[in-house]
Amino acid sequence: MTQSYPLQFQPEFKERVWGDRALEQFGLDIPDGHIGEGWMIADHPNGTTSVLNGELAGQGLDQIRKQYGAEWFGSKVSLEKNDRFPLLIKLLDCNDNLSVQVHPNDKYEGLPQGELGKTEMWYVLDAKPGAKIIYGLNDGVTRAHLQEAIEQGTVMDSLREVTVEAGDTFYIPAGTVHALCAGVVVAEIQQNSDTTYRLYDYDRPGLDGKPRELHIEDSLNVTAYDGSGATMMKTDHIGPGEWLQLAQSPYFIVEKGIVSGSWSMATTPDSFTIFVICEGSGMLKWQGGSMPYSAGQCFLLPANLGQYQLEGHSTVLRSYLP
């Protein structure tokens, strides 16, 4: 049996009409084109990441999950619904506005075969001055109002815009109408799903020169008109060595921490731990090994890893199952 150790993966990069080259700032070797998404830890038919380091190098997350199961990934991991790793971790480069979109929950009858709903959260890594996102509906917008606005081409008047800066965080439960806009780079922690319903896309062509598909009826069906439980917060008020909870959902808990020196922690048998390095650099150490880390890297720590340390000066996100 392979001794468990922190896993780093080769990202799966996705070209998007709204993407560009900003992920290069993290030292990532991205392919040519308008790269909008780096799937950093992924176990999905549309993208599966493979291990870069250690004894399991070259194996996909799907293979490792099948081979090591709950011992490595934790007793809380349920693989019954679609036999996949439960979370999907991304970095997004938004050089242009994303489509205005909404995600269904797990119970929506229109879900594609084998897919889950999608609850997610964003942490803003970088934002140009004045950059905005769309985050929910304006007060009083009903299904009828939204449908009429879509038909008349005035949907933007129904949407809430929020100006963002680095360090802001947004929890986006299923049913929240939302869109990242031009000038932001974010880390995204989400349910392992690739189900998105577009309700508006600025009448622009896709990468193939044709208009991208909209999903008006599904969007209207799954939108939470009375509020979805979405929350946002500033996160610049924490000091070193303490965790600030950014999001708590039925699917993940995400916390932010500041590393200054050495910080000792331990995994628990009930869940894996995922680290996203937002800023800075240092060393990740555990019994039996160590490896350097730097901004933009993501690591999956098996549930049975035990004691480990983060050393250096950095800002990190820690995610695990509730």
Contact 322, 273 (CB under 8 A): no
Residue 198 annotated in active site: yes
Q: Which residues define the annotated binding site?
A: 103, 120, 178
The Cα 75–Cα 268 span in angstroms is: 10
Task: Map tokens 């250096």 to a residue.
Answer: 312
Q: What is the DSSP letter of 157?
A: G
Contact 36, 14 (CB under 8 A): yes
Q: What is the DSSP letter of 250?
A: S
Q: What is the DSSP letter of 60?
A: B
User: What are 7-54's pLDDT values in tens digits?
Assistant: 999 999 999 999 999 999 999 999 999 999 999 999 999 999 999 999
Q: Which residues define the annotated binding site for Zn(2+)?
A: 103, 120, 178
The Cα 130–Cα 251 span in angstroms is: 32
Domains (range + CATH), the chain = 9-233 (2.60.120.10), 243-320 (2.60.120.10)
Active-site option among 16, 65, 84, 198: 198
Task: Find the DSSP H helices in the chain.
Answer: 61-73, 143-152, 216-222
Mean pLDDT of 131-150: 96
User: What are 266-315's pLDDT values in tens digits?
Assistant: 999 999 999 999 999 999 999 989 999 999 999 999 999 999 999 999 99
User: What are 220-262's pLDDT values in tens digits?
Assistant: 999 999 999 999 999 988 999 999 999 999 999 999 999 999 9
Task: Map tokens 């004894």 to a residue.
Answer: 55
pLDDT band at 82 (very low <50, low <70, confident <90, very high): low
